[in-house]
Amino acid sequence: MSEAPGRVGAGRRAVALTASTRAAAGVYPDRSGPVVVARLRAWGFEVGAPVVVPDGEELGMALREVLASEPDLVVTTGGTGLTPTDRTPEMTAPLLDVVVPGVSEAFRAAGVAKGVPTAMLSRGLAGISGRTFVVNLPGSRGGVVDALDVLGPVLGHVLAQIPGGDH
Protein backbone atom coordinates (compact mmCIF):
# COMPACT_ATOMS: atom_id res chain seq x y z
CA MET A 1 0.00 0.00 0.00
CA SER A 2 1.52 3.29 -0.99
CA GLU A 3 0.02 6.71 -0.60
CA ALA A 4 0.93 10.34 -1.04
CA PRO A 5 2.44 11.67 2.19
CA GLY A 6 -0.15 14.44 2.58
CA ARG A 7 -0.72 14.93 6.29
CA VAL A 8 0.59 11.51 7.36
CA GLY A 9 2.17 13.13 10.40
CA ALA A 10 -0.98 14.77 11.74
CA GLY A 11 -1.20 13.95 15.45
CA ARG A 12 2.28 12.43 15.40
CA ARG A 13 5.60 13.62 16.75
CA ALA A 14 8.97 13.45 15.00
CA VAL A 15 12.54 14.42 15.86
CA ALA A 16 15.33 15.43 13.48
CA LEU A 17 18.91 14.74 14.61
CA THR A 18 21.88 16.09 12.65
CA ALA A 19 25.19 14.29 13.13
CA SER A 20 27.86 16.83 12.20
CA THR A 21 30.90 17.54 14.29
CA ARG A 22 31.63 20.75 12.36
CA ALA A 23 28.05 22.08 12.46
CA ALA A 24 27.85 21.25 16.19
CA ALA A 25 31.06 23.26 16.70
CA GLY A 26 29.67 26.23 14.75
CA VAL A 27 32.15 25.90 11.86
CA TYR A 28 29.19 26.11 9.47
CA PRO A 29 25.41 25.99 9.78
CA ASP A 30 23.43 22.76 9.71
CA ARG A 31 22.26 22.50 6.11
CA SER A 32 20.41 19.19 6.07
CA GLY A 33 18.49 19.20 9.37
CA PRO A 34 16.31 22.17 8.37
CA VAL A 35 15.40 20.33 5.14
CA VAL A 36 14.23 17.34 7.21
CA VAL A 37 12.22 19.57 9.57
CA ALA A 38 10.54 21.47 6.71
CA ARG A 39 9.43 18.23 5.03
CA LEU A 40 8.21 16.68 8.30
CA ARG A 41 6.20 19.81 9.09
CA ALA A 42 4.72 19.77 5.56
CA TRP A 43 3.63 16.20 6.29
CA GLY A 44 1.90 17.39 9.48
CA PHE A 45 4.33 16.17 12.12
CA GLU A 46 4.92 18.06 15.33
CA VAL A 47 8.68 18.61 15.15
CA GLY A 48 11.06 21.10 16.70
CA ALA A 49 14.31 22.48 15.34
CA PRO A 50 16.93 19.89 14.42
CA VAL A 51 19.12 18.71 17.28
CA VAL A 52 22.72 19.12 16.10
CA VAL A 53 25.36 16.95 17.74
CA PRO A 54 28.84 15.69 16.89
CA ASP A 55 28.92 12.29 15.27
CA GLY A 56 29.93 9.29 17.34
CA GLU A 57 29.13 8.75 21.00
CA GLU A 58 27.40 12.13 21.40
CA LEU A 59 24.98 11.18 18.63
CA GLY A 60 24.42 7.83 20.34
CA MET A 61 23.58 9.56 23.62
CA ALA A 62 21.25 12.04 21.89
CA LEU A 63 19.54 9.22 19.99
CA ARG A 64 18.95 7.24 23.19
CA GLU A 65 17.53 10.34 24.89
CA VAL A 66 15.23 11.09 21.96
CA LEU A 67 14.01 7.48 21.76
CA ALA A 68 13.20 7.55 25.48
CA SER A 69 10.64 10.29 24.71
CA GLU A 70 8.89 7.84 22.31
CA PRO A 71 8.35 9.93 19.17
CA ASP A 72 6.67 8.27 16.21
CA LEU A 73 9.60 9.03 13.89
CA VAL A 74 13.27 9.89 14.24
CA VAL A 75 15.18 11.05 11.18
CA THR A 76 18.94 11.40 11.44
CA THR A 77 21.04 13.15 8.84
CA GLY A 78 24.78 12.84 8.45
CA GLY A 79 27.42 10.40 9.59
CA THR A 80 26.52 7.64 7.13
CA GLY A 81 29.60 7.80 4.92
CA LEU A 82 32.98 6.13 5.02
CA THR A 83 35.18 8.53 6.97
CA PRO A 84 36.47 7.47 10.37
CA THR A 85 34.09 9.90 12.09
CA ASP A 86 30.96 8.68 10.24
CA ARG A 87 29.46 6.58 13.04
CA THR A 88 25.70 7.09 12.75
CA PRO A 89 24.92 3.48 11.71
CA GLU A 90 27.07 2.14 14.57
CA MET A 91 25.22 4.36 17.07
CA THR A 92 21.81 3.43 15.61
CA ALA A 93 22.15 -0.34 15.14
CA PRO A 94 22.17 -1.38 18.82
CA LEU A 95 19.03 0.67 19.45
CA LEU A 96 16.94 -1.02 16.74
CA ASP A 97 14.63 -3.88 17.67
CA VAL A 98 13.80 -4.55 14.02
CA VAL A 99 15.87 -3.61 10.97
CA VAL A 100 13.95 -2.65 7.82
CA PRO A 101 16.69 -2.94 5.17
CA GLY A 102 14.44 -2.34 2.15
CA VAL A 103 14.00 1.31 3.13
CA SER A 104 17.70 2.17 3.19
CA GLU A 105 18.28 0.01 0.10
CA ALA A 106 15.60 2.04 -1.70
CA PHE A 107 17.28 5.31 -0.66
CA ARG A 108 20.60 4.16 -2.11
CA ALA A 109 19.02 2.80 -5.30
CA ALA A 110 17.09 6.02 -5.90
CA GLY A 111 20.25 8.09 -5.57
CA VAL A 112 22.17 5.89 -7.98
CA ALA A 113 19.23 5.98 -10.43
CA LYS A 114 19.35 9.80 -10.31
CA GLY A 115 22.98 9.70 -11.43
CA VAL A 116 24.69 9.91 -8.04
CA PRO A 117 26.87 6.77 -7.97
CA THR A 118 28.25 7.64 -4.53
CA ALA A 119 24.75 7.14 -3.08
CA MET A 120 25.58 3.42 -2.90
CA LEU A 121 28.25 4.22 -0.31
CA SER A 122 25.76 5.46 2.29
CA ARG A 123 25.63 3.06 5.23
CA GLY A 124 22.42 4.46 6.70
CA LEU A 125 19.97 2.14 8.44
CA ALA A 126 16.21 2.07 8.90
CA GLY A 127 14.29 0.22 11.56
CA ILE A 128 12.05 0.19 14.58
CA SER A 129 13.05 1.01 18.13
CA GLY A 130 10.16 0.33 20.49
CA ARG A 131 7.29 2.04 18.65
CA THR A 132 9.50 4.55 16.86
CA PHE A 133 10.54 4.36 13.22
CA VAL A 134 14.16 5.45 12.80
CA VAL A 135 15.84 6.33 9.51
CA ASN A 136 19.42 7.44 8.86
CA LEU A 137 19.76 9.82 5.92
CA PRO A 138 22.95 11.14 4.35
CA GLY A 139 24.25 14.57 5.32
CA SER A 140 23.82 16.26 1.95
CA ARG A 141 20.74 18.33 1.21
CA GLY A 142 20.22 16.50 -2.08
CA GLY A 143 20.53 13.11 -0.43
CA VAL A 144 17.99 14.14 2.21
CA VAL A 145 15.48 15.36 -0.36
CA ASP A 146 15.89 12.23 -2.47
CA ALA A 147 15.50 9.90 0.53
CA LEU A 148 12.43 11.72 1.82
CA ASP A 149 10.89 11.52 -1.65
CA VAL A 150 11.34 7.74 -1.44
CA LEU A 151 10.06 7.50 2.13
CA GLY A 152 6.99 9.69 1.68
CA PRO A 153 4.74 7.28 -0.21
CA VAL A 154 5.18 4.47 2.36
CA LEU A 155 5.53 6.41 5.61
CA GLY A 156 1.84 6.32 6.53
CA HIS A 157 1.80 2.55 6.07
CA VAL A 158 4.96 2.16 8.15
CA LEU A 159 3.59 4.24 11.02
CA ALA A 160 0.27 2.37 10.95
CA GLN A 161 2.02 -1.02 11.01
CA ILE A 162 4.31 -0.39 13.98
CA PRO A 163 1.56 -0.36 16.64
CA GLY A 164 -0.16 -3.31 14.96
CA GLY A 165 -2.32 -1.78 12.24
CA ASP A 166 -3.69 -4.01 9.51
CA HIS A 167 -2.04 -4.35 6.09
Output the domain CATH number for residue 96: 3.40.980.10
Tell me whether residue 2 is in a domain: no
- C-alpha 19/C-alpha 5 separation (Å) is 25
The CA distance from 46 to 52, in Å, is 18
Q: What is the pTM of this model?
A: 0.94
Count of other CB atoms within 10 angstroms of residue 166 = 6
**Which residue type occupies 26?**
G
Q: Is residue 124 part of a domain?
A: yes
- Establish if 7 belongs to a structural domain: no
**What is the tens place of the pLDDT at every residue in 73-132?**
999 999 999 999 999 999 999 999 999 999 999 999 999 999 999 999 999 999 999 999
Assigned domain for 99 exists: yes
